[in-house]
């Protein structure tokens, strides 16, 4: 797959299984793939994990899945790739963190070896800087320089400068060592939203390589979702970012694929990519007296997710861009339903107990609440068949 330039912003995810457990890792890759992940990364920490990569690749290929696999290396990537050439071949991309490849001369030698292996195996490399594991030599130089400056910056600002500097220097070194400039992707991950946005803006102004966006250690639940959305959106609307990952901490027992679902919703909310018809539903308020409205919104959300797979299989083009309104009363219901491709406005308290159905801005039907689910579903089916051509 191609990343960068005019290609669509790609969705990435990362497994949290022990990579040496081939079956579990393949199972999770499949789960992430089914959720919509277009690239999957997993950690390769030791020889056992490196040797497992070939089996993971074989199983993924035998299922006919077209999904690039990325190896995430820290500290010993240069030796693992050298010692297990079959792993180096089986991966589609390598990720290296320039803060975790050794110190001083060792740092440069290890980095050089890593790049040489990428060149030998004809693989792209993501230079992924993380402020939690920043190359201390870059930070020290910038801190010293800052001390001598007449109007020094705060230590936090210098750290952000060092994150970007580490990434830019590593890109230049990789090119100097012979890696083609178009085989490099870069990221500067930080866990604070304003700092992360600032770092990527600086990075985008200094290099031409595609950028992989992510708010690292975003957190758990709604905090992680809100922080990731805030960070990624600020950059994506400016045209910065070629691949994204949402780094959520899963709650115990929850699906790893939540990070893919959130990433898709961010892109879809920004109108950058479309994956499934968008439900526009109001929050409800004192005017919605029954749970009928909530049940219908929930039912249709699930129904559209499932049905989208069928419509895609049948070849209906553009149906993922359809907007469906499900509204709770007459205040905003007819208006939102008219803006959507198709919508239903339920009666609020004190209104006539009739739901109004709209298509392309016009009211086309009415139904009672008890029949709303089936009638609106049939309308949706007919709408798709009549408005979206088959490929
Ligand atoms: S559309 Fe009606 S029910 Fe929904 S939030 Fe607005 S006023 Fe409340």
pTM exceeding 0.85: yes
Over residues 6-34, the pLDDT tens digits come to 899 999 999 999 999 999 999 999 999 99
- Cα distances from 250 to residues 22, 24, 33, in angstroms, run 21, 17, 17
pLDDT at 252: 84
The CA angle 97-101-105, to the nearest 5 degrees, is 135
In 251-322, DSSP assigns E strands to 278-281
The residue whose CA has the least distance to atom 7 of ligand 1 is 331
Two tokens, residue 18:
């022990």
The per-residue DSSP string of 29-86 comes to: HHHHHHHT-SEEEEE--SHHHHHHHHHHHHHHHHTT----EEEEE-SSHHHHHHH-HH
- Fold of the domain built from segment(s) 278-387: Sulfite Reductase Hemoprotein; domain 1 (3.30.413)
Ligand 1 pocket residue status of 337, Cβ below 6 Å: no
In the predicted model, is pLDDT for residue 257 greater than 70? yes
Question: Quick one: which of 382, 375, 339 has its CA closest to 357?
Answer: 375
Ligand 1 pocket residue status of 332, Cβ below 6 Å: yes
Domain boundaries, the chain: 10-269, 278-387
CB burial class (10 A; 0-12, 13-18, 19+) of residue 4?
middle
Ligand 1 pocket residue status of 347, Cβ below 6 Å: no
CA max distance for the chain = 79
What is the mean pLDDT of the segment spanning 382-387?
Answer: 96
Ligand 1 pocket residue status of 346, Cβ below 6 Å: no
Who's near 105: CB < 8 A, 6+ residues apart?
none
- For the CA of 285, the closest atom of ligand 1 is 8
Quick one: 10-269 is in which CATH superfamily? Answer: Dihydropteroate synthase-like (3.20.20.20)
Who's near 385: CB < 8 A, 6+ residues apart?
316
Ligand 1 pocket residue status of 101, Cβ below 6 Å: no
Over residues 288-314, the pLDDT tens digits come to 867 888 899 999 999 998 999 999 999
Ligand 1 pocket residue status of 345, Cβ below 6 Å: no
pLDDT at 2: 85
Residue of 279, 331, 336, 340 to mutate, ligand 1, most atoms within 8 A of C-beta: 331
Query: Residue 122 — pLDDT band, cuts 50, 70, 90?
Result: very high
3-state DSSP assignment of residue 280 = strand
Ligand 1 pocket residue status of 334, Cβ below 6 Å: no
pLDDT at 16: 95
Distance of CA 203 to the CA centre of its chain: 19
Over residues 157-203, the pLDDT tens digits come to 999 999 999 999 999 999 999 999 999 999 999 999 999 999 999 99
């Amino acid at each position: 797959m191609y990343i960068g330039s005019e290609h669509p912003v790609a969705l990435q995810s990362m497994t949290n299984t022990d990579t040496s457990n081939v079956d579990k890792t393949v199972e999770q890759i499949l789960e992430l793939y089914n959720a919509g992940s277009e690239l999957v990364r997993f950690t390769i920490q030791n020889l056992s994990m490196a040797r497992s990569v070939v089996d993971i690749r074989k199983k993924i290929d035998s299922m006919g899945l077209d999904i690039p696999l990325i190896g995430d290396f820290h500290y010993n990537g240069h030796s693992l790739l050298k010692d297990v050439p079959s792993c180096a071949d089986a991966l589609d991309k390598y990720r290296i963190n320039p803060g975790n490849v050794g110190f001083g001369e060792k740092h440069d030698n290890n980095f050089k070896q890593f790049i040489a292996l990428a060149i030998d195996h004809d693989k792209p490399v993501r230079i992924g800087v993380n402020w939690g594991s920043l190359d201390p030599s870059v930070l020290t130089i910038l801190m010293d320089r800052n001390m001598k400056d007449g109007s020094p910056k705060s230590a936090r600002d210098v750290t952000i400068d060092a994150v970007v500097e580490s990434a830019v220097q590593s890109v230049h070194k990789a090119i100097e060592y012979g890696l083609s400039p178009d085989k490099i992707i870069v990221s500067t991950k930080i866990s604070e939203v304003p700092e992360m946005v600032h770092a990527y803006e600086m990075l985008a102004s200094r290099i031409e390589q595609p950028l992989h966006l992510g708010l690292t250690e975003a957190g758990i639940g709604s905090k992680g979702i809100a922080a990731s959305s805030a960070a990624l959106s600020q950059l994506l609307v400016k045209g910065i970012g070629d691949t994204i990952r949402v780094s959520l901490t899963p709650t115990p027992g929850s699906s790893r694929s939540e990070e893919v679902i959130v990433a898709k919703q961010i892109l879809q909310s920004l109108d950058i990519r479309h994956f499934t018809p968008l439900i526009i539903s109001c929050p409800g308020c004192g005017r919605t007296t029954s749970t009928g409205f909530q049940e219908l919104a929930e039912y249709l959300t699930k129904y559209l997710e499932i049905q989208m797979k069928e419509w895609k299989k049948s070849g209906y083009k553009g149906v993922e861009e359809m907007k469906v309104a499900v509204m709770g009363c007459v205040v905003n219901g007819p208006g939102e339903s008219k803006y959507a491709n198709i919508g239903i406005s339920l009666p609020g308290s004190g209104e006539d107990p009739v739901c109004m159905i709209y298509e392309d801005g016009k009211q086309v039907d009415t139904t009672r609440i008890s029949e709303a689910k089936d009638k609106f579903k049939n309308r949706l089916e007919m709408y798709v068949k009549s408005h979206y051509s088959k490929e």
